[in-house]
Structure 1
Amino acid sequence: MGSLKNQDLKDRVHAWMFDAALPFWGSIGIDHKYGGYVEQLTPDGRVADVEFKRVRVIGRQIYVFSHAYQMGWKPGLELAEHGFNFLTKHAWQGPENGWARTLSKDGAILDGTADLYDNAFALFALSWFQRVSGRHDAKNWASKTMTFVDQHMRHENGIGFLHWSPASGLRQQNPHMHLLEACLASYEAEPNEQAAVLAKEVAGLFEKKFFDLKTRTLAEFFDEDFKRAQAPDGEIIEPGHQFEWAWILVNLKRLLGIALSDPVRALIGFGEEFGVDQRTFATYDSVWVNGRARSTTSRTWPNTERIKAAVALSELDGIDPSGVFAQSIGYLFDNHLNAKPFGTWIDQVDEVGAPISDKIPTSTLYHVFLAFAEFLRHENGRT
């Protein structure tokens, strides 16, 4: 990876977003026959013949097009509305069941499981669409989503929320993280007590249950009481989530005044020390709690989260993020975003950068777009 100046990075990122990715996904990525968005592409960029649409993907694409509109890309509002209409017409199962997990191509419910992850991304999408459209119905849908989570997805022991209902398997932090992200998006769209209360609750779970300041690690899997699961599950650490939480927590401070500064520094510190290949600058998919690499493969998304964490640390402590920007953006373009058609990605590579993906998941655009938007916001000095 060659050294790139900040202006070169800005030009390259802006061109990828607005000249390649958005036009591509705003055309090929739209399901004009049935509504909503395509779920995935084949490795050569054709629409994959799959029989399902995940609600989380619909939510992520509504977000992308809403944010793109906010950044001046005019087609974004109509494309976000296209997803909003499909989502609200087909995926809501009522106030006691919330948003479905999976739909058929034409919108029939395939899996009606109430999944916290999918409900969080529905809330995230609705909040962003409310923010850019000003539509009161989007605000009402967001409130109904939070009410459903608050009233019907709480764990019976009173500690946190179900990752899905009825629950099975180990408990997880990741859906809670996205719930916090979504609540903050709702609060930023329009300050409201409902979002603030939920956000504060999840932040408390992070501080008391998910994160261990001594080891600087965020666990992925837990027992029923939110104690770290027995090895090996409880020792799995994902650097991408360490970075992602750090960025969300800095937004928590900005919006609600709750400062978890030492955990932010610790999350990023561990991720930088153990989660990044210092030769290639790839962010690993996972490591062990002792810092030893568990998987030296690298998906697109952990590398984007490192960019957001660098923005967060700059805003928290004034630490210059330019080194991380050059490393991670350069790595992404060299190994993930060099896919054809341009504007798509190679979802996962091995330790030498060889592709190991069998599809192009639409869900990844959320990660890349948000990270690049944060990079541009930082570089352009916008608040």
Structure 2
Amino acid sequence: MGNTAAQNIEKCKNWLSRDVYPLWSAKGIDKSNGGFVESLTFEGQPMDVPRRAMVQSRQIYSFLTGARLGCVSKDFAHSAALAGTRYMIKNFMQPSGAFIYSINPDGSVKSANPDLYTQAFALFALAQAYSISPTAEFKDPAKALVKYLYRERKVQAGGFTELDEKGTISYKSNPHMHMFESAVAWMQVDQDQEWKDLGHELVTLALEKFIDPKTHVLGEYFDSHWNHKMENGKFIYEPGHQYEWAWLMFLYQELTGRDLKAVRHNLFQLADKYGTSPSRKIAFDEMWSDYTPKLQSSRFWPQCERIKAAARLGTEASADQKVTYAKAADDALETLFKFFETPMKGLWYDQLSAEDTFNSTTAKASSLYHIVNAIEEYVLYRPRL
């Protein structure tokens, strides 16, 4: 690319305004049944496949973010977001307060599993809707969801259980990261103590359990006491999640004043030092805790998280560090645009193989949330040198 930050910003906004939002506004919203579609083919046609609650949530956010960036009409985006949130509440919420994983396009249940990842994104969507319509319509379901989690999913050592289709319990950091994201989103729009308590519990869990005191990297998989699940003396971590936690902790510190600067920068720097390929300008999908790559493939989203973290952390860095953070943001954006070179504009590939090839024929709606989040952070915060 070799572009200046200003040129990168213009390129991003043009792509969103001309290619992405016109296509996803026309084809990504189901005008018959309501809600957002799960994915589009590379010909730009909606696929008749089950819909996850997580996709509804992410598209609510994506349209609101597009409006903030000036890349889609505010009236259209707000209307789509509110309709999408009502669709999600109506079709996915259970009397318990939990949200189910997926439904069929006709509204019938596909998977009634109330996995923790889905709960995190449902809570996130409700905060997005509340940000433009601060009413009980969206706060009451959010409060009911948190009550459900503490009533039925609480782990004695902190946090919540993950569930699969068979009801098998597991313990993972990733859904907690998204739950933390949701707590932060609520803290940004509402003063209720419940969001502050949830945020405090989750960031404490990350600091005390998820981050390994020896290697200082943040693991993915745990036992019921939040001990890292080991394989041959090492555990798995993901550079993309290191970046994402660093970014979220920045937002949390802004809201609470809790000093997390050293932790945030350390997570970022470890991810950048060991979890990227400088020659390929990519962030690896998975690493071992001895800092060696487990997977040398690279999905699109770790590039997005690298952009976000580099942009925000760069705002508080020294003059020398600013250059490093700006370069990380620029490299990640350059790589991200390779994922957008699809047969039809406004779509994206999901994963770059270890051999630097793409192989997919559909674009997941769930990806847009990562992409527009990264672009907004780059536009607003990429360090000016």
TM-score under structure 1 normalisation?
Answer: 0.93
| Match in the other structure for 1:4 | 3
Q: Which runs of 5+ in 1 are unaligned?
A: none
1:45 aligns with 2:44: yes
- Give the 3 Å change call, closer, same or farther, for CA 244–20 of structure 1 in structure 2: same
| Match in the other structure for 1:363 | 366
Find 1:59's aligned residue among 57, 60, 65.
Answer: 57
Distance 1:117 1:187 in 2: 19
- The two structures, once aligned, show a CA RMSD in angstroms of 2.0
1:344 aligns with 2:342: no
For each residue in 1:46-102, what CA deviation from the matched residue of structure 2 results, as whole angstroms up to 9, or x when unmatched?
Answer: 32232x1100111111111122234443221011122112111111101x2511111
Name which of structure 1's ranges 35-44 and 219-228 shifts more when overlaid on structure 2: 35-44
Distance 2:93 2:233 in 1: 33
| Match in the other structure for 1:202 | 202
Name which of structure 1's ranges 315-324 and 355-364 shifts more when overlaid on structure 2: 315-324
For each residue in 1:298-352, what CA deviation from the matched residue of structure 2 results, as whole angstroms up to 9, or x when unmatched?
Answer: 111011000011023123435423212221111111x201123212101111134
| Match in the other structure for 1:322 | 326
Read off the aligned partner of 1:162 and give its amino acid letter.
T
Q: CA deviation at 1:362?
A: 1.1
1:375 aligns with 2:378: yes
Q: CA deviation at 1:380?
A: 9.8
Q: CA deviation at 1:358?
A: 4.9
For each residue in 1:144-173, what CA deviation from the matched residue of structure 2 results, as whole angstroms up to 9, or x when unmatched?
Answer: 222222222212x34320113785254100
Q: Secondary structure at the match of 2:100?
A: coil
Name which of structure 1's ranges 352-361 and 321-330 shifts more when overlaid on structure 2: 352-361
Q: Which runs of 5+ in 2 are unaligned?
A: none
For each residue in 1:232-268, what CA deviation from the matched residue of structure 2 results, as whole angstroms up to 9, or x when unmatched?
Answer: 6961111100100100011110112222222212211
- After TM superposition, list the pairs within 5 Å mapping 1:162-201 onto structure 2: 162-164=161-163, 168=168, 170-201=170-201
1:290 aligns with 2:290: yes
Distance 2:196 2:249 in 1: 13
Read off the aligned partner of 2:348 and give its amino acid letter.
W
For each residue in 1:124-163, what CA deviation from the matched residue of structure 2 results, as whole angstroms up to 9, or x when unmatched?
Answer: 11101111233441222222222222222212x3432011
Q: Secondary structure at the match of 1:294?
A: strand
Number of equivalenced pairs: 376
Are 1:308 and 1:375, in contact at CA under 8 Å, matched by a contact in 2? yes
Distance 2:355 2:252 in 1: 37
Distance 2:316 2:341 in 1: 32
Distance 1:178 1:293 in 2: 24
Read off the aligned partner of 1:259 and give its amino acid letter.
D
- Give the 3 Å change call, closer, same or farther, for CA 215–298 of structure 1 in structure 2: same
| Match in the other structure for 2:84 | 83
Distance 2:383 2:142 in 1: 31
1:34 aligns with 2:33: yes
| Match in the other structure for 1:93 | 94
TM-score under structure 2 normalisation?
Answer: 0.92
Which stretches of structure 1, 4 residues or more, deviate above 4 A after TM superposition?
A: none
| Match in the other structure for 1:245 | 245
Read off the aligned partner of 1:11 and give its amino acid letter.
E
Read off the aligned partner of 1:302 and give its amino acid letter.
P
| Match in the other structure for 2:336 | 332
Distance 1:247 1:162 in 2: 24
Name which of structure 1's ranges 297-306 and 340-349 shifts more when overlaid on structure 2: 340-349
Are 1:77 and 1:133, in contact at CA under 8 Å, matched by a contact in 2? no
**Aligned sequence identity (%):** 28
Distance 1:206 1:127 in 2: 22
Are 1:146 and 1:195, in contact at CA under 8 Å, matched by a contact in 2? no
